[in-house]
Amino acid sequence: MHAGYLTHLGHNFLVEAAAHGRNDLKVCLTRDGRYLYVANANDNNVSVIDVPNRKVLETLNAALYPNAPTGSTTNGVSLSGDEKTLYIANADNNCLAVFDVQTPGSASSKGFIPVGWYPTNVKTLGNKILVANGKGFTSMANPKGPQPVKKTDNSGYQKGIVNSREQYIGGLFKGTLSFINAPNEAQLRAYTKQVYANTPFNNKIAATAPGEAGNPIPMKRGEKSPIKHVFYIIKENRTYDQVFGDMKDAAGRPVGNGDPALTIYGERVTPNHHQLARDYVLLDNLYCNSEVSVDGHSWCDAAMATDFNQRSWIISYSKHGKLPGNAEMETPSAGYLWDLCKRNGVTFKTYGETYVGDEPFLAQ
């Protein structure tokens, strides 16, 4: 379908029309070839293209809130059999957005459907909605490897980088395929309620974050803070449990939501880290979708990793080459920390992470 469309219209028009959004990933064409739906993964939307007239007819906001920042990662799109309903995969919201598209140019949102972790594609087959969940349902610990002090093990997982069978992160993901019956109105309302319950971000939190009076971290955007300088230090490739699973307070009592059985670099190795956590903040329930260095740097520097970033590391880390792409596909739409600093007149200096002139890019 995609290749046929390119042949029919030519690559230049696809680029020009879909430039309304960034990282145009998946497309869906109506059977008569009249309308093309393009999922823009670096934005929260889908472009609806009037093919004969070669123009973007409308843009569908697939996010949970109209003013939500980019980060829904709208990376898949499919029409129902009667072409009256459009299903849109929101990878970083773990849901499908559902739109009534009976009248192109006047589409309307119908609700959301909860799915698995990081949906990467959506298709329809009769009355069924098929969703590929790239990361399955849950993450898993890997106590049997790779271990920095153990060169071999018998964990029985994917072959690792030291010629042993290890619990390497790339081999722990078990993708899933969901078969969902197309919901009626009552079911869709229940599904939509569940999606919002699953998502901690909302308009209220965006306006006023929870906190304590007098805390130097402002609860409202734009409020002044006594903080003059911020030192942001990144140490990669270790989980909370691997460093702080053995965390205890000054009296020697276990604290934090950790598992000492998973600790590799405990207090004996990292006394300064542990003391800083006692003196300031433990952050034992800060969760993120990072798995390896490539997407981890992006999460640290931009609070998200693009869909291109998420897909490309699996290819490159497994020695299958690199996905063709560019800096725009790699870079989140809102930019990195240094972009925000520059945008708001805040001076900064970076050591290790990369910033080149007006063109920031991720250090790899």
Q: Provide the domain limits for residue 49.
A: 2-136+173-198
Among 117, 110, 66, which Cα is nearest to 91's? 117
The answer to whether residues 122 and 257 belong to one domain is no
pLDDT, one tens digit per residue, over 89-143 is 999 999 999 999 999 899 999 999 999 999 999 999 999 999 999 998 888 887 7
Task: Give the integer Cα–Cα distance in Å for 6 and 17.
Answer: 12
Query: In the chain, how many domains are there?
Result: 2
Q: Are residues 186 and 56 in the same domain?
A: yes
Shared domain for 185 and 251, answered yes or no, is no
7 and 131 housed in the same domain: yes
CATH (domain of 127): 2.130.10.10
| pLDDT (0 to 100) of residue 151 | 55
CA distance 150 to 121: 38
pLDDT one-digit tens code per residue, 24-42: 668 999 999 999 999 999 9
Say yes or no to pLDDT of 219 above 80: yes
What global pTM score does this model have?
0.85
Mean pLDDT, the chain, rounded, equals: 84
Is the residue at 165 inside a domain? no
DSSP state at residue 340: H
191 with 289, same domain: the answer is no
287 or 83, which is more confident? Answer: 83
Q: What is the pLDDT of residues 290-335, one digit of tens each?
A: 888 889 999 999 999 999 999 888 888 878 888 887 777 888 988 8
Average pLDDT for 139-165? 56
Tell me whether residue 358 is in a domain.
no
Alpha helices (H) in the chain, listed in sequence order: 2-9, 11-18, 169-172, 185-198, 203-207, 240-244, 271-279, 293-302, 307-317, 327-330, 337-343
pLDDT of residue 63: 96
Edge-to-edge strand ranges of the sheet holding 108-114:
74-79, 85-90, 95-100, 108-114
